[in-house]
């Protein structure tokens, strides 16, 4: 299974910073700092991390939507289009526009602001689909929309209502249906289940999995809820201060977390039937504009050593699928 | 039994519309519960189940439509809103909107100290504030002269807990206190509640949708659904062995941080919330996997099994037996 996997999206030393000019002094927010990813076809890859660790910026960069003050400082971003790897960072605005919806689509977090509140849902569908598909009339667009909506088990009449008439969970599901309507290769979700009720969240996760199974495409999503990761993801990347510090298949992350930060994240979660004391990660996340030297986690790490304060550890492969960037592991691994 | 706060047949109705067409929505429907001294009581449920409305009624922000709220056995009347400020304090969901961004954080502390005449001199005031801040792991030096933007969400939430502690409250109403705080820092807030209960004997009404932290922190729990308490008892009983079909669904829907415990069944979601509010019999009947004919027409009774109250027709016979 692992051998024949096709890489669909690949990044090389991706660096994307926010460069702010404040009255002559330059402030650089290193939101995506040297990220190397390989994301395969037919998988759900999810990225975990605290707020302010650069998750959303990473997604925007992967979506190839970089708007100042965000800038792509360095690195390459490859998509696999028609079995060929293409560097999309050099694409023109029109080329990028063509890829959206059809090749890569985006599911935003706040579904409240996705739909125009003064037009019916079908108006939004018309705008989105109509700008990508050559059709003779509107009915063809609605046929595409209706088909997907019915496949996903949503009520038929959602196209004919205004956004405020739908509950939050329904609106989120309609948003996901919209993002999937042109069968994209990659779907990117920015906290697609956050701010929903637990039962609704379960329904939305169920729907995302259904879509992925049906289209056999790739979903890249970000969430801070480790419970959601455990339920949906095939592989998990743990992000801290703009870097992916650990990456492994879901079972490995939960059974054998190697990075101290991952260990904290997992051990701090309360479990049913277990009332033993849980500790949260000490301290607070660093500012991306003023990163500590060396490993960015060292001020909060209980196992800190001298080298951690000086040098950022290299990402090493513990096994074929498990990567981690930590001096502790490096020492153990290299003897 | 000693009851710090008791709600008897508490009801809140909201009416929408005008003279010609009026819709009445019962947000909280005849609920009964009590909170003992030094315990953490959780009200859990999804959004729109009436948990925040209940908190607002206890705090006096919303008028009670019918029913009674008793503190130490004394009813709350309009004139006695004072007990709200003396014995009860609140912590809200979003720490960033709790504090005015243009105002220094320590100003809130000094204001409360001044309003409640808690100190005679400035030095006494600072000592008093420092003492309360130390309970949450901060010092006066940490907050003096700083604006809310200089703190993280977790820190601000701890500051708002310290502010609530200034008046030595007996009861803290915490409305979704951790849902805006980062997952990695949540436990520090929740552990703080445990510490307050054990060391200061403060009771906490913990309102949340997160059953995992509710299990971890609380002593007793009530599960609310569309304005009704459907199940109430100790957390061990209610969460480890849920009896009401809705409690079961809610408990099963918590994503467990363990890839071996993935969901294997599917859920049906409610299409219209309003329909559930106006349903005649049991409000969960439309989605309940164990629905019977009686559920659609007759409001279920409150059945007591061991020490757990269940609001469901399924257990009716058990009580008669």
pLDDT in tens, A219-252: 999 988 888 899 999 999 999 999 999 999 999 9
Instruction: Please indicate, yes or no, if residue B99 is contained in any of the structural domains.
Output: no
Is A205–B258 a contact, with Cβ atoms under 8 angstroms apart? no
**Both tokens assigned to A7:** 């890489």
Are residue B291 and residue B230 in the same domain, yes or no? yes
Instruction: Please indicate, yes or no, if residue B94 is contained in any of the structural domains.
Output: no
Contacts with B261 from chain A: Cβ below 8 Å = 230
Are residue B226 and residue B132 in the same domain, yes or no? no
Contacts with B180 from chain A: Cβ below 8 Å = none
Question: pLDDT tens for residues B123-165?
Answer: 999 999 999 998 888 888 888 888 988 887 788 888 999 988 8
CB atoms within 10 A of CB B56: 18
Residue B258 phi/psi, 5° resolution?
Answer: -155, 110
Q: Where are the beta strands (DSSP E) in chain A?
A: 7-22, 25-35, 38-40, 44-48, 70-81, 84-87, 104-107, 186-190, 218-222, 235-240, 243-249, 316-317, 323-324
Indicate the residue of B186, B239, B269 with minimum beta-carbon distance to A280: B186
In angstroms, the separation between the Cα of residue A285 and the nearest Cα of chain B is 9
Are residue B208 and residue B302 in the same domain, yes or no? yes
Contacts with A227 from chain B: Cβ below 8 Å = 212, 254-257
Helix or strand (DSSP H, E) at B44: strand B40-44
Give the pLDDT of residue A1: 42
Contacts with B155 from chain A: Cβ below 8 Å = 284
Residues (pLDDT < 50) of chain B are: 321
Give the pLDDT of residue B83: 58
Cα B256 from Cα A97, distance rounded (Å): 38
Q: Closest-CA residue in chain B for A229? A: B257
Are residue B275 and residue B131 in the same domain, yes or no? no
**Both tokens assigned to A47:** 């990225």
Indicate the residue of A226, A264, A279 with minimum beta-carbon distance to B257: A226
Cα B168 from Cα A198, distance rounded (Å): 35
Are residue B55 and residue B190 in the same domain, yes or no? yes
The size of the A-B interface in CB pairs under 8 A is: 130
Residues (pLDDT < 50) of chain A are: 1-2
In angstroms, the separation between the Cα of residue A271 and the nearest Cα of chain B is 6
Contacts with A270 from chain B: Cβ below 8 Å = 187, 190, 212-213, 215-216
Are residue B261 and residue B178 in the same domain, yes or no? yes
Give the pLDDT of residue B24: 81
Instruction: Please indicate, yes or no, if residue B67 is contained in any of the structural domains.
Output: yes
Are residue B182 and residue B282 in the same domain, yes or no? yes
- Mapped onto helix, strand or coil, the DSSP state of residue B300 is coil
Are residue B140 and residue B282 in the same domain, yes or no? no
Are residue B157 and residue B178 in the same domain, yes or no? no
Are residue B271 and residue B213 in the same domain, yes or no? yes
Is B215–A272 a contact, with Cβ atoms under 8 angstroms apart? yes
Alpha-helix residue ranges (DSSP H) falling in chain B: 51-59, 82-87, 95-98, 105-115, 122-135, 140-143, 153-165, 183-200, 211-217, 235-240, 245-253, 273-278, 316-320
Instruction: Please indicate, yes or no, if residue B59 is contained in any of the structural domains.
Output: yes
Residue where a domain stops, chosen among B146, B164, B182? B164
Give the pLDDT of residue B129: 92
Are residue B115 and residue B236 in the same domain, yes or no? no
Indicate the residue of B182, B209, B273 with minimum beta-carbon distance to A198: B209
Residue where a domain stops, chosen among B132, B164, B196? B164
Is A228–B250 a contact, with Cβ atoms under 8 angstroms apart? no
Cα B163 from Cα B90, distance rounded (Å): 10
Is A230–B258 a contact, with Cβ atoms under 8 angstroms apart? yes
Cα A242 from Cα B192, distance rounded (Å): 30
In angstroms, the separation between the Cα of residue A284 and the nearest Cα of chain B is 7
Residue where a domain stops, chosen among B164, B195, B215? B164
Instruction: Please indicate, yes or no, if residue B11 is contained in any of the structural domains.
Output: yes
Total count of domains within chain B: 2
Give the pLDDT of residue A220: 94
Instruction: Please indicate, yes or no, if residue B20 is contained in any of the structural domains.
Output: yes
Is B257–A269 a contact, with Cβ atoms under 8 angstroms apart? yes
Cα A181 from Cα A140, distance rounded (Å): 13
Taking alpha carbons only, the member of A232, A192, A238 closest to residue A212 is: A232
Is B185–A281 a contact, with Cβ atoms under 8 angstroms apart? yes
Give the pLDDT of residue B69: 83
Mutate to test the interface with B, among A164, A166, A202 (most CBs of B within 10 A): A202
Give the pLDDT of residue A2: 46
CA-based torsion, A232, A233, A236, A240: positive or negative = negative
Is A271–B256 a contact, with Cβ atoms under 8 angstroms apart? yes
Taking alpha carbons only, the member of B192, B186, B146 closest to residue A51 is: B186
Instruction: Please indicate, yes or no, if residue B9 is contained in any of the structural domains.
Output: yes
Indicate the residue of A167, A168, A228 with minimum beta-carbon distance to B255: A228
The domain in which residue B185 lies consists of: 5-87+169-320
Looking up residue B204, the CATH number of its domain turns out to be 3.40.50.300
Are residue B271 and residue B297 in the same domain, yes or no? yes
Is A280–B267 a contact, with Cβ atoms under 8 angstroms apart? no
Instruction: Please indicate, yes or no, if residue B96 is contained in any of the structural domains.
Output: no
Q: A3: Cβ–Cβ under 8 A, 6 or more apart, which residues?
A: none
Indicate the residue of B185, B239, B269 with minimum beta-carbon distance to A169: B269
Indicate the residue of B47, B153, B187 with minimum beta-carbon distance to A197: B47
Indicate the residue of B47, B213, B263 with minimum beta-carbon distance to A202: B263
Alpha-helix residue ranges (DSSP H) falling in A152-192: 168-179
Question: How far is C-alpha B46 from the geometric centre of its chain's CA atoms?
Answer: 12
Helix or strand (DSSP H, E) at B7: strand B5-17
- Structure pTM? 0.84
Whether A173 and A189 have beta carbons less than 8 Å apart is answered as no
Whether A186 and A9 have beta carbons less than 8 Å apart is answered as yes
């Amino acid at each position: 299974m692992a051998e024949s996997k096709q890489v669909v999206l690949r990044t090389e030393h991706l660096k994307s910073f926010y460069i702010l000019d404040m009255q002559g002094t330059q402030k650089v927010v290193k939101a995506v700092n040297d990220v190397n990813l390989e994301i395969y076809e037919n998988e759900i890859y999810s990225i975990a991390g605290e707020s302010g660790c650069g998750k959303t910026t990473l997604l925007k960069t992967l979506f190839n939507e970089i708007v100042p003050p965000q800038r792509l400082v360095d690195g390459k971003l490859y998509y696999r289009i028609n079995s060929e790897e293409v560097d999309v960072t050099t694409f023109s605005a029109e080329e990028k526009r063509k890829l959206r919806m059809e090749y890569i689509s985006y599911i935003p977090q706040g579904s409240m602001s996705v739909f125009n509140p003064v037009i019916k849902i079908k108006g939004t569908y018309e705008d989105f689909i109509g700008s990508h598909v050559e059709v003779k009339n509107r009915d063809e667009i609605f046929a595409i929309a209706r088909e997907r909506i019915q496949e996903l088990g949503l009520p038929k009449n959602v196209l004919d209502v205004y956004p405020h008439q739908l509950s939050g969970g329904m609106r989120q599901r309609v948003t996901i249906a919209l993002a999937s309507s042109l069968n994209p290769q990659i779907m990117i979700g920015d906290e697609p289940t956050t701010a929903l009720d637990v039962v609704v969240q379960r329904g939305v996760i169920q729907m995302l999995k259904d879509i992925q199974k049906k289209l056999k495409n790739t979903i890249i999503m970000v969430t801070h809820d480790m419970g959601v990761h455990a339920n949906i993801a095939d592989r998990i990347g743990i992000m801290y201060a703009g870097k992916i510090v650990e990456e492994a298949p879901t079972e490995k992350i939960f059974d054998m977390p190697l990075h101290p930060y991952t260990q904290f994240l997992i051990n701090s979660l309360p479990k049913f039937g277990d009332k033993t004391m849980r500790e949260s990660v000490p301290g607070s996340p660093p500012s991306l504009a003023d990163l500590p030297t060396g490993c960015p986690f060292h001020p909060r790490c209980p196992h800190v050593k001298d080298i951690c304060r000086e040098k950022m550890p290299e990402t090493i492969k513990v096994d074929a699928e498990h990567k981690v960037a930590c001096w502790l592991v490096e020492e153990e691994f290299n003897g | 039994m000693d009851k710090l706060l008791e709600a008897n047949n508490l009801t809140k109705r909201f009416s929408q519309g005008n003279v010609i067409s009026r819709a009445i929505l019962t947000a909280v429907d005849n609920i009964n519960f009590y909170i003992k001294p030094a315990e953490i009581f959780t009200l859990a449920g999804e959004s729109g189940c009436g948990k925040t409305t209940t908190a607002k009624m206890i705090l006096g922000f919303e008028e009670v439509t019918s029913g009674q709220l008793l503190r130490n056995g004394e009813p709350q009347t309009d004139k006695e809103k004072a007990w709200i400020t003396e014995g009860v304090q609140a912590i809200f969901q979003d720490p960033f909107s709790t504090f005015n961004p243009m105002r220094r954080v320590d100003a809130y502390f000094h204001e409360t100290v001044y309003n409640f005449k808690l100190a005679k001199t400035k030095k006494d005031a600072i000592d008093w504030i420092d003492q309360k801040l130390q309970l949450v792991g901060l010092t006066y030096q940490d907050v003096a002269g700083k604006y809310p933007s200089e703190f993280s969400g977790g820190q601000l939430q701890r500051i708002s807990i310290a502010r609530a502690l200034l008046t030595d409250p007996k009861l803290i109403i915490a409305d979704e206190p951790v849902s805006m705080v980062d997952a990695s820092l949540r436990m520090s807030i929740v552990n703080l509640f445990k510490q307050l209960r054990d060391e200061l004997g403060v009771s906490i009404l913990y309102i949340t949708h997160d059953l995992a932290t509710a299990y971890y922190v609380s002593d007793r729990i009530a599960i609310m659904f569309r304005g009704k308490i459907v199940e109430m008892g100790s957390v061990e009983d209610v969460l480890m062995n849920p009896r009401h079909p809705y409690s079961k669904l809610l408990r099963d829907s918590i994503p467990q941080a363990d890839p071996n415990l993935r969901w294997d069944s599917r859920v049906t979601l409610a299409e219209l919330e309003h329909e559930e509010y106006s349903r005649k019999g049991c409000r969960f009947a439309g989605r309940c996997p164990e629905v019977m004919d009686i559920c659609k027409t007759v409001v279920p009774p409150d059945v007591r099994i061991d020490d757990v109250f269940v609001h469901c027709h399924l257990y009716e016979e058990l009580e008669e037996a």
